[in-house]
């Protein structure tokens, strides 16, 4: 009995002394990208639930960005000034960049999700859980080389999410004597009719149509390319298509291919299938907890940034997460294909992550 009382007393003392670490997530919870924002929110919740016993208490606060930079800025200001959160998280470039100045001004660690290296390095309290743009460009070129593609028709979104990566890709192709970009078209959101652009691209007789955009534009381009009769190989950044038959048998690069075990755990918790954005929220939450648990109390923002950069690799929702000194928590891209409407690893590229030096 005395041992039980002592144990309960110690537990109460630990609970009373535990720090409450508040994490403010700026996500598109309404609007066109509502499903991605909701998926990240569920991923963060599951990441917190599954982590296990922690010395600190973690509280999640969600604010809607509507995927608008101005709304994202207001949401981040509310989280930093009113809720006084210890962390900010965001998704994708336009809204992530709106959060960065608030993170700087309030000295709050910001964990983003975008490929652009330039602004991550400019903002001292921002880290990025993603694949850097130069790595994404490198794996794309390697994939096209292995397929023997020489003439590339390249259509891409003109946005902060893509522009630096597009530059890396274009420069990489110039270094390949066997490749050339025969058509290079950028577009601004929102566009719903690409048929004239695609017809012009088709006239250049490409070997491959490379589509770089987020949904829904990537799916629209893929559908309309088929409608106008483009018969070349098609690839790009497709991920969670609504009309999965459009990409049946196609191989493409995917940032977050969820593991079978993670899918089972998610379905048991939420009673539906996860989408790729779920993995981002899950891994963001894991990174925050892993860094904070290194300290008995709340650490300064710069100390947390250093801790997060130097975390040992761990198995995340879609593969190994490898923190780097440039403030990227690298999630390796995978080449997958749709088979019977389901994304599966492409066996022709099974060892590519190791060959690219991203995994041991």
User: Which overall architecture, per CATH, does domain 2-131+259-326 show?
Assistant: 3-Layer(aba) Sandwich (3.40)
Same fold for the pair 2-131+259-326 and 133-254+334-355: yes
Buried b (16+ CB within 10 A) or exposed e, 325-346: eebbbbbbbbbbbbeeeebebb
In this prediction, residue 357 carries a pLDDT of 67
The rounded Cα 113 to chain-centroid distance in angstroms is 5
In this prediction, residue 331 carries a pLDDT of 86
Per-domain residue ranges for the chain?
A: 2-131+259-326, 133-254+334-355
Chain mean pLDDT for the chain: 90
Q: How far apart are CA 213 and CA 158, in angstroms?
A: 9
Q: Give the percent of the chain with pLDDT over 70.
A: 93
Q: Is the pLDDT of residue 52 over 90?
A: no
Q: How far apart are CA 179 and CA 315, in angstroms?
A: 36
Q: Is the pLDDT of residue 7 over 50?
A: no
In this prediction, residue 154 carries a pLDDT of 98
Domain 133-254+334-355 grouped into CATH 3.40.50.2300: yes
Give which of 207, 272, 217 is closest to 239, Cα–Cα: 217
DSSP structure class, residue 271: S
Long-range contacts of residues 93-96, Cβ cutoff 8 Å, at least 24 apart? 93/159, 93/160, 93/161, 94/67, 94/69, 94/159, 94/160, 94/161, 95/26, 95/28, 95/65, 95/67, 95/68, 95/69, 95/71, 96/72, 96/126
Give which of 122, 61, 115, 118 is closest to 91, Cα–Cα: 115
Q: In this structure, how many other beta carbons lie within 10 angstroms of the beta carbon of residue 209?
A: 23
User: In sequence order, what are the residues at sequence separation of 6 or more whose Cβ sits closer than 8 angstroms to the Cβ of residue 47?
Assistant: 281, 282, 283, 284, 285, 286, 289, 317
In this prediction, residue 332 carries a pLDDT of 76
pLDDT in tens, 251-310: 998 866 777 888 899 999 999 888 888 999 999 999 999 999 999 999 999 999 999 999
């Amino acid at each position: 009995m005395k041992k039980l009382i002592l144990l309960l007393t110690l537990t109460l003392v630990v609970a009373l002394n535990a720090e409450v670490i508040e994490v403010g997530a700026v996500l598109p919870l309404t609007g066109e990208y509502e499903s991605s924002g909701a998926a990240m929110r569920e991923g963060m919740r599951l990441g917190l639930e599954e982590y296990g016993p922690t010395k600190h208490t973690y509280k999640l606060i969600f604010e809607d960005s509507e995927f608008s930079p101005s709304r994202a800025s207001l949401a981040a200001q509310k989280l930093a000034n009113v809720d006084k959160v210890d962390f900010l998280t965001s998704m994708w470039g336009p809204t992530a960049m709106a959060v960065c100045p608030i993170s700087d001004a309030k000295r709050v660690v910001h964990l983003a999700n975008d490929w652009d290296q330039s602004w991550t390095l400019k903002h001292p309290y921002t880290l990025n859980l993603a694949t850097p743009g130069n790595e994404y460009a490198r794996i794309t070129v390697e994939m096209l080389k292995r397929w023997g593609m020489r003439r590339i028709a390249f259509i891409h979104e003109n946005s902060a999410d893509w522009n630096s990566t597009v530059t890396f890709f274009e420069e990489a192709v110039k270094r390949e004597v066997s490749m050339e970009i025969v058509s290079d078209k950028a577009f601004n959101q929102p566009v719903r009719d690409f048929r004239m652009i695609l017809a012009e691209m088709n006239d250049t007789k490409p070997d491959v149509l490379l589509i770089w955009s987020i949904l829904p534009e990537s799916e629209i381009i893929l559908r309309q390319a088929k409608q106008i009769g483009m018969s070349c190989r098609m690839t790009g950044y497709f991920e969670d298509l609504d009309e999965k038959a459009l990409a049946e048998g196609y191989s493409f690069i995917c940032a977050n291919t969820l593991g079978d075990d993670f899918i089972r755990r998610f379905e048991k918790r939420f009673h539906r299938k996860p989408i790729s954005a779920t993995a981002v929220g899950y891994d963001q939450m894991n990174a925050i907890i892993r860094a904070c648990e290194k300290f008995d109390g709340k650490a300064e923002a710069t100390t947390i940034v250093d801790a997060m950069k130097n975390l040992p690799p761990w198995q995340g929702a879609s593969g190994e997460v490898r923190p780097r000194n440039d403030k990227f928590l690298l999630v390796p891209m995978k080449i997958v294909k749709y088979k019977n409407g389901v994304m599966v690893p492409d066996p022709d590229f099974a060892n590519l992550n190791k060959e690219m030096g991203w995994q041991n």
